[in-house]
Structure 1
């Protein structure tokens, strides 16, 4: 019997922790599988997806910069992936790929683990790209008092407010227009930290006891973490737990069982 094959695709992707995470999940669940990282250039994406399907891969995780482009190449997508306009998990069908998005679920599971409440809170998302799109729907469904999405230019947040209006009210802002606002939870969904940068923000954005969470982890999360500490955040967390939780959700979609995440997260730490 052949061993099921899985992979994470992106560019760059050699740094990905996904192979290690899924190897541990498989071991803990008593499942045999192969999981690798495959670098794919954007212009090769459609051809490579067909090749990987022909080679018998059973599922793929999708990371930057392919999440939006992959959505258009699927034969079908889940409702949450369609709403996000982004796919981070591909499930093999007989004739192609079904796309799903486990990012928002992964975030909410990690926030719950950390005791970061969304219901009834004033929540700010920094950034309006693919990372933000994957988490907005689940965050709106969690019942915040206010959900604001902020970006350098106004167009992307306004597009997102329109896109998600059926789910709930999303307030679009530029970073500069946040002046005078205060939030209980701030989530960094920008990629600025990967270049060692941090968006320019007005002072005083954090309410007393505010909690800050970065979707990035490792070195990329340090600029936001430094900013949050200077603003006297009560809690500062990175996205490593979200990475593990969204991976567990992918594993469950592929193999029908949800692995334990705490031991894997502890190992990565």
Structure 2
């Protein structure tokens, strides 16, 4: 009998997780299937109880349920609790335990480009859920500083105040960050600015970007945002959002199966869905 895995969200039709993860189950000869479920907020609890009753092996959680799902779980790990959001749930002996693989997934992908964050000066653009997961994860890597730039500076300050891990951080406006870009070794763009269909937008100008800085954008549609395009022109190294998406999925798959999967295979699947190619 096939083991059930799933992803819950609203909307959910755009998700590439089913294609990516069903390919992995087939590739590793695991008798399981991964299904997308569109779940409205008002029936989220019922959906979780139903999956638990069915003996689901695990499931992913996406927008808008990452925080609201927590009360319906039997437990969550420390990082997910600190972030206040869950994107992966594992059925551990009949109990549904929540994890957050977004930040660790971003970090694992980043480390294919950067050996260490120790001593690095980092700028995170945005103060939403993705920024929170990435900030809390990076703060544990002993960077020299991790600053947060946001349209609303108070929100960036609140994010810094919420972090339980020790990191030298300051909140600043997008304009101030743009003027100070030469200070940073690593710049991480976590907002949805520049995502299809508004592909000509970017959160701040890169006029003052230092040559050979590392610039990341968690968006993967388009594969190269205007932000990354300008960063290349300034001589920076870049990373798009494919790695974060793939590695967070790989970490979820590992939690469900004990197997850390072939991430290059996963990238090929995602890029095929997007109509791109692996460089």
Q: TM-score, normalised by structure 2?
A: 0.86
Q: 1:124 to 1:15 in 2, by over 3 A?
A: same
How far, CA to CA, are the matches of 1:223 and 1:51 in structure 2?
43
* Deviations 1:71-93, CA, capped at 9 Å, x for gaps: 34322110010111111101124
How far, CA to CA, are the matches of 1:98 and 1:161 in structure 2?
26
How far, CA to CA, are the matches of 1:200 and 1:250 in structure 2?
30
How far, CA to CA, are the matches of 1:28 and 1:114 in structure 2?
27
Q: 1:103 to 1:217 in 2, by over 3 A?
A: same
Show the counterpart of 2:257: 255
Deviation at 1:51, TM superposition (A): 1.9
* Deviations 1:154-174, CA, capped at 9 Å, x for gaps: 222111111115332332222
Say which SS state the counterpart of residue 109 (structure 1) adopts: helix
Show the counterpart of 1:189: 190
Unaligned runs of at least 5 residues, structure 2: 272-279
How far, CA to CA, are the matches of 1:47 and 1:267 in structure 2?
32
How far, CA to CA, are the matches of 1:205 and 1:199 in structure 2?
15
Q: 1:144 to 1:45 in 2, by over 3 A?
A: same
Say which SS state the counterpart of residue 36 (structure 2) adopts: strand
How far, CA to CA, are the matches of 2:162 and 2:37 in structure 1?
32
How far, CA to CA, are the matches of 2:130 and 2:110 in structure 1?
16
* Farther off after superposition, 6-15 or 89-98: 89-98
Say which SS state the counterpart of residue 131 (structure 1) adopts: helix
Show the counterpart of 1:167: 166
How far, CA to CA, are the matches of 1:58 and 1:205 in structure 2?
49
Q: 1:260 to 1:5 in 2, by over 3 A?
A: same
How far, CA to CA, are the matches of 1:62 and 1:220 in structure 2?
23
Any conservation in 2 of the 1:161–1:169 contact (CA below 8 Å)? no
Show the counterpart of 2:266: 264
Say which SS state the counterpart of residue 117 (structure 2) adopts: coil
How far, CA to CA, are the matches of 1:43 and 1:205 in structure 2?
47
Q: CA RMSD in A?
A: 2.2
Show the counterpart of 1:15: 14
How far, CA to CA, are the matches of 1:47 and 1:20 in structure 2?
26
* Farther off after superposition, 33-42 or 50-59: 50-59
Q: 1:29 to 1:229 in 2, by over 3 A?
A: same
Say which SS state the counterpart of residue 236 (structure 1) adopts: strand
Q: 1:192 to 1:203 in 2, by over 3 A?
A: closer
How far, CA to CA, are the matches of 2:58 and 2:224 in structure 1?
28
Say which SS state the counterpart of residue 67 (structure 2) adopts: helix
Any conservation in 1 of the 2:9–2:65 contact (CA below 8 Å)? yes
1:225 aligned residue (220, 225, 228): 228
